[in-house]
Amino acid sequence: MGSYAPGEAAERSGFSLDTLRYYERIGLLTSVRRTAGGQRVFTDDDLSWLGILRCLRDTGMPIARMCRYAELSRGGEETMPERLALLAEHDRAVERQIARLRAQQEHIREKIRYYRTHAV
């Protein structure tokens, strides 16, 4: 299992060091080990978890919902139905956002077609 300094974990996860510290402070990251000198050491498991957080954040999940998901994830198998419901709800929100983006994209494409046919 790999171990990564904070800078490397930030680079691999795509999060800034400040974001990693913030996520630790609000409870999204709870298992990050520390060296005797107090420096955080990230593992492959931590990076995997950060990958999930990256996905949720990039798809627009609010921080409060991410915190709820993290809390449920620490709750063991008995929280799986609630985690499933939370993710299914988020998936529906992502679908709605994709539909809005597709409609907006079509509007942009209409403008492009217009300008191509009317460009001097």
Q: How many whole angstroms separate alpha carbon 12 and alpha carbon 64?
A: 24
φ and ψ at 55, to 5 degrees?
-60, -45
Structural domains in the chain plus CATH codes: 3-118 (1.10.1660.10)
Give, for all 120 residues of the chain, the pLDDT tens digit: 789 999 999 999 999 999 999 999 999 999 899 989 989 999 999 999 999 999 999 999 999 999 999 999 999 999 999 999 999 999 999 999 999 999 999 999 999 999 999 986
Neighbours of 30 (CB within 10 A): 13
pTM of the predicted structure, to 2 decimals: 0.85
